[in-house]
């Protein structure tokens, strides 16, 4: 293997993100030998993997979770989304900062913090990172039986089933309704919505990714670029999903401090802000994120007054 293994710092990632230094493949292989067969020198004479190979991406994720987050047992079913971990970690860290901004600059940690992950997926990545870094408790929801079964199995295999639990959302058209119980309180909710409006749009995006990797454009999109339909697209796309999320959040305004969602398409922001104004959200935050050439952002909102926010922090975080 090439001796040029020092990765460049990815300064666009959150300062606390463990992946700012890129992928140290020698360390990752030492942690997880399953990765070794997929690592070789790329055209820049640096160690890397073929990111169009689903098996290679899965092996990389296993190694990252094991090395950085002490997750010894992780796997996902065939054809399910295998997400890039650095961007997932950024969402967690930025939400930690948002909580800290409402707590005298101190990030609240520990099992007293409850998080709801809408669309946890078979991979369970957000709860794993959030618990391992900040010791938060998570509930992950999904509309897919297999995804719920897989996420629960991952939590159980790593003895995290007391900190991470999963719930099936029976109605795919609903977000919080039928899921959140009347007595429950969440310090924040999070969601990475399917941003395509159709299967055709999803497939076109996958082809574009293949082209950017220098692969044949006519090549069938590979599994790490596809996933299950509900993971990649929904009727109305990201705009409709976020609209439903906002409308339903207004029905449980005092049960969560910060509601939040990723927004991949900047063109959707004016409509989202209009919807938040319509439901009378009292405070809205937009947090910009970037990973490589991909630009995204978190939109977070709360219905709590400043006095209610202070009372929440005193009761739950101090």
pLDDT tens-digit profile of 9-66?
A: 888 999 999 999 999 999 999 999 999 999 999 988 999 999 989 999 999 999 999 9
Predicted pLDDT of residue 213: 47
> Which is more confident, 154 or 212?
154
Predicted pLDDT of residue 195: 54
The verdict on pTM exceeding 0.85 is: yes
Mean pLDDT of the residues in the chain: 88
Angle at 72 between CA 71 and CA 75, to 5 degrees: 90
| Dihedral, 294, 90, 266, 220 alpha carbons, nearest 10 | 40
Predicted pLDDT of residue 291: 74
What's the rounded mean pLDDT across residues 96-115? 97
Q: Kindly report the backbone phi and psi dihedral angles of residue 262, in degrees, each rounded to the nearest multiple of 5, phi listed first.
A: -75, 145
Q: Which of 43-47, 261-265, 288-292 has the lowest mean pLDDT?
A: 288-292
Q: Kindly report the backbone phi and psi dihedral angles of residue 291, in degrees, each rounded to the nearest multiple of 5, phi listed first.
A: -140, 110
Domains and CATH numbers, the chain: 79-316 (3.40.50.150)
Task: Judge whether residue 280 has pLDDT over 90.
Answer: yes
> Which is more confident, 130 or 212?
130
């Amino acid at each position: 293997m090439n001796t040029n293994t020092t990765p460049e710092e990815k300064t666009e990632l959150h300062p606390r993100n463990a992946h700012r230094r890129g992928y140290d493949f020698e360390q990752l292989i030492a942690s997880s030998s399953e990765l070794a067969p997929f690592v070789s020198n790329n055209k820049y004479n640096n160690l890397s993997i073929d990111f169009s190979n689903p098996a290679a991406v899965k092996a990389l994720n296993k190694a990252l979770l094991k090395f950085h987050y002490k997750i010894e047992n992780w796997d996902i079913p065939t054809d399910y989304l295998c997400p890039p971990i650095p961007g997932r970690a950024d969402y967690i860290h930025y939400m930690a900062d948002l909580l800290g901004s409402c707590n005298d600059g101190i990030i609240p940690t520990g099992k007293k913090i409850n998080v709801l992950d809408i669309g946890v997926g078979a991979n369970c990545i957000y709860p794993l990172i959030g618990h391992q870094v900040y010791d938060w408790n998570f509930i992950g929801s999904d509309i897919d039986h297999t995804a719920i079964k897989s996420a629960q199995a991952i939590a159980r295999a790593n003895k995290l089933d007391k900190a991470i639990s999963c719930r099936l959302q029976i109605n795919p058209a609903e977000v919080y309704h039928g899921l959140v119980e009347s007595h429950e309180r969440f310090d924040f909710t999070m969601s990475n919505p399917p941003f395509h409006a159709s299967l055709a749009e999803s497939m076109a995006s996958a082809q574009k990714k293949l082209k950017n990797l220098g692969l044949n454009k006519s090549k069938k999109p590979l599994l790490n670029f596809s996933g299950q339909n509900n993971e990649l697209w929904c009727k109305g796309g990201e705009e409709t999903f976020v609209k439903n999320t906002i409308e339903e959040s207004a029905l449980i305004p005092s049960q969560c401090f910060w509601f939040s969602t990723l927004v991949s398409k900047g063109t959707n922001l004016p409509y989202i802000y209009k919807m938040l104004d319509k439901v009378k959200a009292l405070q809205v935050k937009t947090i910009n994120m970037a990973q490589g050439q991909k630009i995204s952002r978190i939109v977070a909102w709360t219905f709590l007054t400043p006095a209610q926010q202070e009372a929440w922090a005193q009761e739950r975080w101090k």
